[in-house]
Structure 1
Amino acid sequence: MDERALHRLIGTIIDPERLADDCAVIPCGDLLAVASTDMLHETTDFPAGMTDWQVGWMAVAVTLSDIASMGATPGEVLLAVGLDRPERLFDIMEGARDCCAAFGAEIVGGDLDAHRELTIVSTGLGTVAPEHLVRRRGVRPNDVIAVTGPLGEAQAALAGYDRHRKELLEPQPRVAEGEVLGRAGVSAMMDISDGLALSLHDLLAVNDRGFAVETARLPLPAGVPEDEARELALYGGGDFELLFSAPPAIFPIPGVEAHIIGKVIPERVVLADGKPLERRGYLHEWSG
Structure 2
Amino acid sequence: MDDRKLLASIRTLIGEEETADDCAAFPLGDGRVLVSSTDMLHETTDFPQGMTEFEMGWMSVAVTLSDIASTGASPSQVLVAVGLDRPERLLPFMEGAVSCAETFGAKVAGGDIDSHQELTAVTTAFGIVEERYCCRRSGAQEGDKVCITGVPGRAQAALDGRAEYSRFLLTPEPQVSAGQKIARAGASSMMDVSDGIVISLYDIADAAGVGIVLDESAFPLFEDSGYAKTCFLFGGGDFGLLFTASDAVLEQLDTEYTVIGQVVAGDSVRMGDEVLPRKGYAHVWGA
* Shorter-chain TM-score tier: over 0.9
Q: Which amino acid aligns with 1:90?
A: L
Cα distance in structure 1, aligned partners of 2:191 and 2:253: 20
CA deviations on 1:240-277 (whole Å, 9 max, x unpaired) are 00000000122255541100000011112110123101
**SS of alignment partner, residue 228 of structure 1:** helix
- Alignment check: 8 A CA contact 2:185 2:253 kept: no
CA distance in 2, matches of 1:63, 1:99: 11
SS at match of 2:57: helix
Which segment drifts farther, 166-175 or 199-208? 199-208
Confirm whether residue 130 of structure 1 aligns to residue 134 of structure 2.
no
Q: Which residue of 1 aligns with 2:119?
A: 118
Q: Are residue 18 (structure 1) and residue 18 (structure 2) matched? A: yes
Task: Specify the alignment match of 1:229 in structure 2.
Answer: 228
Q: Which secondary structure does the structure 1 equivalent of 2:242 belong to?
A: strand
Residue in 2 aligned with 1:273? Answer: 272
Check conservation: 2:18, 2:24, Cα contact below 8 A.
yes
* Aligned residues of 1:151 and 1:218 also touching (Cα < 8 A): no
- Structure 2 gap segments, 5+ residues each: none
Contact 1:217 1:260 in 2 (8 A): yes
Amino acid at match of 2:178: E
> Could you tell me which residue of structure 1 aligns to residue 240 of structure 2?
241
Rounded Cα–Cα distance in structure 1 between residues aligned with 2:247 and 2:272: 20
The question of whether the paired residues in 1 share the 8 Å contact of 2:140 and 2:205 is answered with: no
3-state SS in 2 of match to 1:257: coil
Whether the 8 Å contact between 1:22 and 1:66 is mirrored in structure 2 is yes
What is the deviation of 1:175? Answer: 0.4
> In structure 2, what is the Cα distance between the partners aligned to 1:26 and 1:83?
32
Deviations 1:167-222 (A, max 9, x none): 00000000000011110000000001000011111112211211001122111124
Cα distance, 1:162–1:27 mapped onto 2, change above 3 Å: same
Query: Which residue of the partner structure matches residue 74 of structure 2?
Result: 73
Query: Which SS does the other structure have where 1:13 is aligned?
Result: helix
1:250 maps to 249
CA contact (8 A) 1:22 1:70 kept: no
Instruction: Tell me how far apart the structure 2 counterparts of residues 29 and 53 of structure 1 sit (CA, whole Å).
Output: 38
Q: Does the residue aligned with 1:264 lie in a helix, a strand or coil?
A: strand
Q: 2-side partners of 1:145 and 1:123: how far apart? A: 29
In 1, Cα distance between the equivalents of 2:250 and 2:17?
30
Match for residue 5 of structure 1? 5
Count of residue correspondences: 286
The whole-number CA distance in structure 1 between the counterparts of 2:158 and 2:254 is 27
> 2:27, 2:33 within 8 Å by CA — same for their partners in 1?
yes
CA distance in 2, matches of 1:227, 1:141: 29
2-structure distance, mates of 1:253, 1:156: 33
Deviation per CA, 1:96-141: give whole Å up to 9, x if none.
1110111000000000000001100000000110100010000112
Supply the distance in 1 between the matched residues of 2:184 and 2:20 (Cα, whole angstroms): 21
Query: Which residue in the other structure is 2:96 paired with?
Result: 95
User: Which stretch of the first structure deviates more once superposed, 25-34 or 35-44?
Assistant: 25-34
AA partner of residue 145 (structure 2): V
* 1-structure distance, mates of 2:36, 2:127: 7
User: Residue 190 of structure 2 aligns to a residue in which SS?
Assistant: strand
Q: CA deviation at 1:18?
A: 0.4
Find the counterpart in structure 2 of residue 145 from structure 1: 146
SS of 2:13's equivalent? coil
- Show CA shifts across 1:29-58 (max 9, x none): 311100100000001111012111110000
Letter of the 2:196 partner, please give it.
Answer: G
Give the Cα separation in 2 of the matches to 1:10 and 1:35: 19
SS of the equivalent of 1:237 reads coil
Q: How far apart, CA to CA, are the structure 2 residues paired with 1:86 and 1:140?
A: 50
**CA contact 1:83–1:114 (8 Å) conserved in 2:** yes
User: Following the alignment from structure 1 to structure 2, what is the Cα–Cα distance between the partners of residues 187 and 61?
Assistant: 24
TM-score (norm 1): 0.97
